[in-house]
Structure 1
Amino acid sequence: MMSDDRVAIATRKRKIAELARGIRKKYLLFKLGRSEEDESINKLFKPLSDPLKEIVQSSKILNESVGRIKKEEPLFTPKKTPSTPSRIPQIIRKLKEKEETPFLSLEEIARDDGDGDDDDDDDNQRSREGQQEASFSEQVMDEYLEQYPVMSHPYIKAHWSYSPIIDDLYGPTYDPPSSKWFLGTKEIDFDKKTGYIKIEGKQVRGTPGLYQLIFYRDPDDYNDEDLAAYKGLLKLTDNYLKKDGNLKGTARNKWTHILKFIVERKMPPSGSGLTYNEKPIEYVYWDDPNELVDRLKLLIASKDAGNTSHDNEIVAIINELKEANIIR
């Protein structure tokens, strides 16, 4: 009976741990997705937000100037009191008693009254909260990375930290709703059990060089085997193509030194050759040069009238007359 209870308790603990891990993972995905959304919104509204920030900054400078002018004749002198949490309510009461001081803000009185220990406490509190949040985020990231091979951890972590070394054009993308990675429109899987990288049923063993080729903007530490494996994976995707089917060429080193030689295809022949005409060849025989001259006059008159289909015959008659030394 006791053993059954222990098994049940252990099972509940394991389920609780799995549930907690899932909650942390969803929180991380939500936070990362929100970061991408905030970044895109900032880029979209930057032309509007920058001028508004300048206006706000100018207003702050103007308020500080007016505040300094008003402070030259203070209506009351703040007393130096020990720094305690109850100091702020006391300052508010002073403001109510002195309604004639509209230029003095609560923040300015707080800076003049006391030695600023509360501000230091607030800064310390914010610092502690920031450290706790960073520690929590790091813990969530570590738990998130547990589902991937250890070799892939630094590359996936660099992806989520928006590192400049990550290839945002040819590299993999993550789809939060499906919790899957994609290379172009093809799913790419990093198998933790086997350490293989899989695309469209094809799998290759993951190596640091191959991960660099997949994730990095400018990979520099790989060998020929890594390059061959990357070529095999890339051929299964459309990651190097635009929507119209043309190659996604750029001036990046990764394209000019690696991708270009992997995916560049021979262009199919275009255009057409000479058309085959089954009509019998008409040979023109002559025994009197005057006939050729009359024919030449007729063809030239036709050309002057706008008919351009006799150019070849005109040239042929002229050549015949030259060969016969009739004209030079």
Structure 2
Amino acid sequence: MEKNIRIELMKSVDSIKNKIKQMKNQEYAMNLSLDKMLKPIADPLKTLVDSNLSIVKNRNVENTTFSNNDSIESDDNNTSSFAKFEDCYDPKQDSEELFEKSPKMEAPDNLKISLEGHDIHDIYDGVNIPFGIRSENKKIWMGNSVVSFSKIENLNNDNVIMVKIDDRAYNLTPGLKELLLRRKPDLKLISDRDKLVYKDMLHFTNAHKRDFNPNGQIRGDKGMKYRTIIKPMLSEMSNDKTLTKLGGNLPKLKEYKKNTDLVYWDDPNELVERLQLLVASRDAGNTNHDNEIFSIIEELKEADIIKE
């Protein structure tokens, strides 16, 4: 009897072990299928988290003060990598800005223009600043005009960067740089002179028109640049055109020479001959002499040559 119970108990134990093993195999297979299914989503998220953690660790490393008595051993490779990190890391820019700002959506903070070779397009590749410059077909454009950069030396032997649009050249001041290369320019850096230059560039390139067409409509924008700079500037341009148009439509005064001798009709025969010529001209279809005809008739009536 006890032997049979042991046999049944051993069978039950083996059955339970088999079920547990089977459940583990099913769970493993399920996890494997889920990993394959979620891998396209999980890998980018994992990379993003790892990058964020590395940035936080690097910031902690930079903020840590090491004393000369600390026994920290580092080889040449670690030292060089830390030096490179200090050169490229900007503590003013937090980790959120690093992920939110894309280099193809906005120009870099330090606008270093390389004028050696043909790598100017690589710096601004994909840039499309509203009412500013954009990259298209391996060229830099503003509106319907191609933009090029050049470096010259002024009288003080300082290097000055010039912006050339067709046959016009402009000095790339910090304020003009904000207007051309920023979606949200810093108003503190923009002077009145920069606004005048930018206004001339807009008018010349039609960067504020739809499809950059000179006869096109002005394209509105809800951005900060349009509301604070472009819109007031365009209203001034429209007011200037209105004043010019109103002044141009005013009638001009006729100028006469001084000491002009006015000739009066004193011979009735001449009046009659003149009247005959005017009537013949009117019969031919010219209706511009009706007033003169009526005037001559009135004069002849006053002279009692024609009676009513």
Normalization by structure 1: what TM-score? 0.38
The structure with higher relative contact order (CA 8 Å, sep 6+) is 1
